[in-house]
Amino acid sequence: MAEIEIDGERYRLTVDHDLCMGTRVCIARLPGVFTVDDETNLSSASDDVLDPSLADAVREAVDDCPQEAIRLEKLG
Ligand code: SF4
């Protein structure tokens, strides 16, 4: 689970493992944030607090995931 501040609000970035198919589009959008386990073929977000400059790339990853498996949820 990664966190990022977007427009002054904190968000949690996660992957729904019931939907992920391991296509790795997320890694192309956000290298270093997502990793795909070679055995399970499931993507996970890092445990990092992401730099706010990555906000556009985060939105692209959410929009471009072919399985709609990436969740960006407001915290608090
Ligand atoms: S782009 Fe979506 S389906 Fe593909 S590995 Fe990433 S989270 Fe999974």
Write the Ramachandran bin of 62: left for phi over 0, alpha for psi from -120 to 50, otherwise beta. Answer: alpha
- Averaged pLDDT, 18-39: 96
Task: Say if strands 49-50 and 2-6 run parallel, antiparallel, or are unpaired.
Answer: parallel
Average pLDDT (13-39) is 97
Domains recognised in the chain with CATH numbers: 2-74 (3.30.70.20)
Q: How far apart are CA 30 and CA 34, in angstroms?
A: 7
CA distance 27 to 9: 24
Distance 8 CA to ligand 1 centre (A): 27
CB of 30 within 6 A of ligand 1: the answer is no
**With bands split at pLDDT 50, 70 and 90, how would you rate the model's confidence at 59?**
very high
Q: Which two tokens stand for residue 37?
A: 């386990």
The finding on whether 2 has its CB within 6 A of some atom of ligand 1 is no
Bridge partners, residue 11, by sequence: 4, 74
